[in-house]
Amino acid sequence: MLKLAFLASRNGSSMRAVLQAIAEGELAAEARLAVSNNRAAPALEAAAAAGVATAWIPTRDDPAAADMALAQALRDSGADLVILSGYLRKLGPEVLRAFQGRILNIHPGPLPQFGGEGMYGRRVHEAVIASGARESAAVIHLVDGDYDHGPEVARLSAPVLETDTPESLEARITALEPGFFVRTLKEIVSGQRRLPEA
C-alpha cells in the first residue's frame, strides 16, 4: 500500500484525482497528509473532506524554518512518496534530503526544453507555441534542487494544433494531467514503472 503526501498551493487538481482513485478502489494507496503554503488553498478543504490530515506551513517569512517544519511533517506522516500538485514554492534542502528520489512533480510542457525558473502555467504554453513545436507534453519527474530538472518518470505527449492559442493548449494539457498522474501512480504500485535514480 503506497503511502502518499501532497503539497498544493491552490486547487490541487492532481491531488483530487488521486484521492478519488483511492476512494473508488482504483489505486492501492493511502493518503497520509496534504500540506499547503496558502492557508486558503481549496486543496486543504478538499483533503480534509476526504478524511486526510492537513497542515498549513507558511514559507514566505522564514523559508528555512518552513523547510524544517515541512520535512518533519512529511516524515511524521510516514509517506513513501510526496506528490506536488501545483505547489508554487521551491523545496528546501531538508525536504529534498529527507525524500530524495521520492518527490514527484508534473510539468505542463516538454522537458528540459520548456522548464526552468519562471516556466510555469501559461508561460510554458506561450513558449511552446512561440517555438513552433508540433508537440507538447505533460511530464512527471523527480524533484531535485533545480526547477524542473530531476529525472523524467513518465511523459504524455499532446499535439500542438495549428489553431492553438496558449489558452487552448493550456486547457488541453491541464485536462490531461490528473488522469495521467493517477495512471502513473498505478504503474508504480504495480511494478510496471520504476522510479529512476535521483
Q: Which residues pair with 6 in a beta bridge?
A: 34, 83
Q: How far apart are CA 45 and CA 39, in angstroms?
A: 10
Q: Are the C-beta atoms of residues 36 and 114 closer than 8 Å to each other? A: no
Give the residue numbers annotated as catalytic, written as ranges.
107
- Residue 96: how many other CB atoms lie within 10 Å: 19
| Angle (CA) 144 22 158, round 5° | 55
44 alpha carbon, distance to own chain's centre: 15
